[in-house]
Amino acid sequence: MTSRSSSRCWPAEPPEALRTLRDGEELTVGEVAERAGLGPSTTSEHLAVLRRGGLLQSTRSGKLVRYRADREGIAEMLGQLHSYLLAPSEPQDTPVTQG
């Protein structure tokens, strides 16, 4: 059996770009890309998904879009996940086999 800590797929300490967003700083796509070591288009796609998922907020200033953590959105998502994980499992239909 594998222990929980050794089976984690997320690093113990998040990458700098995520720490910065978590701490409330607003970053442009280019700043996140540079800190995360990713290309700008890949970073832009990831940030857009996180924003649509309610985990980031964005503000536009001219051509620049700045992203920051959406603490309320994150808290809501965590609450939903918590409720989901604690909900009793529904029995699954077992296929009837003829024999």
Residue 47 located in a structural domain: yes
CATH of the domain at 41: 1.10.10.10
pLDDT at 99 over 80: no
The whole-angstrom separation of Cα 72 and Cα 56 is: 10
Q: Is 63 a residue whose pLDDT tops 80?
A: yes
Domain membership flag for residue 69? yes
Spatial distance between the Cα atoms of 25 and 48, rounded to a whole number of angstroms: 17
Residues 6 or more apart in contact with residue 32 via CB below 8 angstroms: 17, 21, 38, 43, 47, 67
Residue 2 within any structural domain of the chain: no
Beta bridge partners of 99: none
Q: Could you tell me the residue range of the domain that residue 17 belongs to?
A: 13-75
Percentage above 90 pLDDT, the chain = 49
Residue 56 within any structural domain of the chain: yes
- Residue 7 forms part of a structural domain: no
**CA-to-CA distance for 35 and 98, rounded, in angstroms?**
60
pLDDT at residue number 41? 93
Q: Write out the two tokens for 18.
A: 């995520």
In a domain, 18, yes or no: yes
Q: How confident is the model at residue 2 (pLDDT cuts 50, 70, 90)?
A: very low
Q: How confident is the model at residue 97 (pLDDT cuts 50, 70, 90)?
A: low
